[in-house]
C-alpha cells in the first residue's frame, strides 16, 4: 500500500472529524428554540436505545442465546443498581462461563 493509502486515511480522518467538531465548536452560545433544545436533550437516551437493540442480540453470529443471555444479565445487574463497570465485567464474566461450557 502506497501514497494512496495515506490520502485515503486523510480523507477518512476528515470525514470522521468534521461531523464531530462542527456542532460542538460552533453551537456554543447560540440560543436555540426551546423545542430544538428539548429534542437535543432527548437524543442521548434515544441513541442508546438504537445502539443497544437489536444489535446486542447478534454480537455472536448465529448464536442468539448468547445475545439474549448477555442482554438479560446486563439489564439485571444495571437494574439492581450495579455501576457501569460492574455491568460490563459481570456480563463478560457470565458469558465467559457460558462460552466455556458450550
Figure out which of the listed residues 31, 33, 62, 99 binds another protein, where binding follows CB under 8 A: 99
Which parts of 65-94 interact with another protein (CB under 8 A)? 66, 70-71, 74-75, 77-79, 81-93
The three cell numbers locating residue 25: 465548536
Query: Rounded CA gap, 68 and 71, in Å?
Result: 5
Figure out which of the listed residues 64, 65, 68, 96 binds another protein, where binding follows CB under 8 A: 96
Which parts of 23-62 interact with another protein (CB under 8 A)? 23-29, 32, 35, 37-56, 59-60
Contact 73, 90 (CB under 8 A): yes
Query: Rounded CA gap, 79 and 84, in Å?
Result: 11
Least Å from the CB of residue 96 to another protein? 4
Amino acid at each position: 500500500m502506497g501514497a494512496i493509502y495515506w490520502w485515503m486515511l486523510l480523507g477518512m480522518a476528515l470525514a470522521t472529524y468534521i461531523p464531530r467538531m462542527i456542532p460542538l465548536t460552533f453551537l456554543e452560545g447560540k440560543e436555540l428554540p426551546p423545542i430544538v433544545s428539548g429534542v437535543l436533550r432527548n437524543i442521548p437516551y434515544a441513541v442508546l436505545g438504537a445502539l443497544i437493540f437489536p444489535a446486542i442480540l447478534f454480537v455472536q453470529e448465529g448464536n442468539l442465546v448468547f445475545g439474549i443471555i448477555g442482554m438479560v444479565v446486563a439489564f439485571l445487574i444495571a437494574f439492581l443498581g450495579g455501576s457501569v463497570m460492574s455491568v460490563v465485567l459481570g456480563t463478560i464474566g457470565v458469558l465467559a462461563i457460558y462460552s466455556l461450557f458450550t
